[in-house]
Structure 1
């Protein structure tokens, strides 16, 4: 059985509202999907005719008829508008082929420019990598040259008087080996950037670094004896 009512309120964003029954203090829920001619805005106070059905334990209005609409308003204008828009767009596409060609060419130009920028960036990256590799090779060459100079320019070792007296004794192969041992030991060391006692492996190595390598930090009391606590006899 159809009943009549008026729209009490309607939430446009959420698509639902309530209908006040005429002659009763009772509101009925309705959803926009049950309203015909939804393209025409719903307004508070608009008269409706509808059926009341139960849906999931609640009552709602369905088969809604909008009583305040004029006959011309009930025409399904969205369909007509869509057909009109389609015809207009087809007319534009037929009558303006030059515009479509210009748009296509513009798109191709943009793609070419972007591709060129990407390639240029890649080339710059490759060049920077080559420069870095060349700089690294030059630095390694300088390090090797510095190490060779350090090994080739070892200071002359001055022997103490006691050592000279020992060396004056007729030497045997054993004495000769002991005399040459410190020179050989120092010849195997090189200034490689180490500065601290914790990096030294022997007292001889620490003495070599203190005497021959710059910026060492192994003689806190400046008495000429490096790493005294580490290599204490």
Structure 2
């Protein structure tokens, strides 16, 4: 198995890209369906163990993957076999329900594969994806938090300057908050 870091993830569309550990190859496409057995959804920065496959168009995608350090969900337990049909039942009484169940199963499987089919990516989709997404849900505007000394990171300061009123963290007006404490100009 190969190892890499999840560098982009679109939770709404259920796909992202892994940067291989050796950094020599191109980023590897990964779809949520190969991670359905994991205890949580993937997040940018996760270490991913994966196997790849080259698609017909020459692009590389992950076909088996797991998030390193995240629990794998247990599959449903198998029930012991029981003889549900006594020998006295006729073949037609047994065959009809089996055919009905088979038909429903095939229909459900087709709908499942249609729903979980990987999306077709366009260049516009990829260009709209940020390189590293940060979860802004972790921050919220709080009364009295207006200065750099109230912040705990550059991400928090950036969130506050963009979303909260009366902040006083961008003295030179260049759009970079807390340059002396949290955000250095070399990062921007």
Same structural fold, with TM-score higher than 0.5 when normalized by the shorter chain: no
TM-score range normalised by the length of the shorter chain: 0.3 to 0.5
Q: Scaled by the length of structure 2, what TM-score is found? A: 0.36
Q: Which has the higher contact order (CA 8 A, sep 6+)?
A: 2
**Which is higher, the Rg of structure 1 or of structure 2?**
1
More helix by percentage: 1
